[in-house]
Structure 1
Amino acid sequence: MTEATPGLMTYTTARERPFDPPDELTRAREELPIHRMIYADGHEGWLITGWALARAVLAHPSFSTRPELLHPPIQQRLINLQEIRKQPGFFLRMDPPEHTRFRRLLTGQFTVRRMKQLEPRIAQITEDRLDAMEREGGPLDLVQSFALPIPSLVICELLGVPYDDRERFHADSAVMLNLQSTPEQIRAAIDDLLDYLRALIKRKRAEPTDDLLGGLVEGGELDDEELAGVGLLLLVAGHETTANMLGLGTFALLTNPRQLAAVRDDPAVVENAVEELLRYLTIIHIGPMRTALEDVDLDGHLIRAGEVVTIAAAVANRDPEKFGDSETLDVTRSAHGHLTFGHGVHQCLGQQLARTEMRIAYPALLRRFPGLRLAVPPQDVPMRSDMSIYGVHRLPVTW
């Protein structure tokens, strides 16, 4: 185990295998569910690797998500924290009651009922992509041909963002999420996307539209800067997360033929399969993180006010005390309770949308192309170890 000073761990994102969290963090969980950790800027805080403690922190009102209170577990993360704190409307990094104000305006757009209404359109978008793949023929990159276009078009239509502008927001998103980006590069990408959204919001004020952003404009409760911040968060999170789950999840299934066959052949398995892939793969590469606003006793450990807690979600989701045989991908298990979408007031707003997209896309892909297979050896698939959201950069497949 790496120690920066006696008794203190350091965080790592180095994965030895494509579908597993870093061995060092797994070993830490096997020893204890909570450890002292030194952060990249010298702050002495905490690392949580156990499921029960992770869930407790995420639900606890005395832990804050405000970026100005956080410290970076790795050096590159400092850049993202510094830039995010400046933007109004980025409600992911707000505490109640400020967070509640934004959440209240948006919750109705992402309910289970609303997703049921969207299912036919998501299914049509999926079929259109499969038709395009069939015309193109293999081998092809499943990320560019399937995993990225589906959630991108869905979130564009939901928000009211022209899909023709996707290259711009795809490029800006990639810079924002790249752990090697410089502060100047991240600031430029954020500014470019905010400028784009400001112009879009201005057009919606002049010519009202029947979509999520148009409804927020008409509602009049948010100013233009807040609307741009909300739009940035929903646009980036709304396509990057599901795209990476579709790519990485397909890769995992292609290397587990029995699990793939179950998803392809048994509709009753699909709901559990999506939850299990979310648990097993956990594309949250770093965190989530919280800061104690006051002294908190956490299972006998005193977390002092101002100390930062980093949750290793990928490791917590493999906790055998919560999930039996946790290191095995089993699409028939009930994996509900995983922390991939978080927990508590900051639980992912778009989780029902992501679930709906995956429940439609995985079986549709596998049924359309029953001979789907990797076009390169598994070890040659490039992984997103350099990004805040884990996944595959490319997934060459054929059939």
Structure 2
Amino acid sequence: MTATVAAPAQHTTHQRLLHHVAAEDAPQARLDAIVVPNGRPAAYLKDAFRAAREVDATLLLLCSKNARATDAVLAAKRAGVRVRAIDTDEAAGLGAVPPFATSKLLQAKRLLRRTDTSFKRNLGVLVADLAGWQRILFLDDDIRLYPHKDIPLPRPSNLRAAAGLLDEYAAAGLANIGMPDNSVVCHAYRESGGKQDTFVGGGALALGRDAFSSFFPDIYNEDWFFLLSGTGLRATAVTSFAYQHDYDPYRNTVRARSEELGDTLAEGIYCLLDNGRGIADANAAYWADFLESRRAFIRTTLRQVQDAPYLTGGYEDRMRAALKAAHGRSLLIEPDLCVRYLRAWQRDRDTWQTHLLSLRARHASAGDPDAAFDTLGISEIVHKS
């Protein structure tokens, strides 16, 4: 087997930034709600239904694409779960979530993603804040929490352990033991022989109220940005585990292109944090160096893919095409864009917090999710069981 080329300066793990706590050692606490950014049919919600029922949590379903709020509510009724569901395409133009400078910047550069994940998560945070929920869990609809076939998953009582950690940590992620949650580039690096780690992600992430002052920008690795304060990483724990379904990261080259800017920015910032530095150190000179490192990382991965004897045929071809697409997109990213994006992101943090304070000032019924929908101006599109 061909020897693996040493990884360039981009770090392949950020685990030391996290606090690892065994579920049996964590305190237990109530989980108020499970928030699911739902894009798949109701059949994919079985684990979310079961978890909400067993930990007695409200289920908030934010539906689009192949998910419909009416179908989800009907399935939830059959499962005996209290649920609120929204078709988020109808909510997008109602002003519940403020416009962001980062999105405007990327739209002008034709780099804005065509996804609604960040919008859904931001809407979920706003509902949680106004409803008075103290602890919530974001759970993607391709994540399993229960044993299935040969997957030895724990019972969701461990969700109470994640909730219990939120008195000490802003966020607590569930470790993923399924399909690694990586970018296309990092998937290819691992599959071609590199040692590539993962980080916690929004797919299975418990949040306390202190974290509600943060927002999800509309960019790949939006969850990594959410976990940041204005200067560094908020205290973040990882406990228990969950399982993400398999998917093909190389199905087309669009995914690799759309991820590249967000992956570059997030990896660049977290490399600084690994080295004991802060976000303020991410100046133009830093980004010039990091962009060269990033491109070298992609080229290294391409060589590994080409040299790996077990990567052959159409799969190898698609992997190489994805990496070339990522490299091509990287060549369009300039240090000045990275600096401008982070400045816009800092302004957006202020925008989000101002918006949150304004909503709180107009909201008079903490503890009532239906009143939260009224304050957000979306009550007429909410379906419930």
Normalised to the residue count of structure 1, the TM-score between the two structures is: 0.26
Q: Choose between structure 1 and 2: higher helix proportion.
A: 1
Normalised to the residue count of structure 2, the TM-score between the two structures is: 0.27
Q: Choose between structure 1 and 2: higher strand proportion.
A: 2
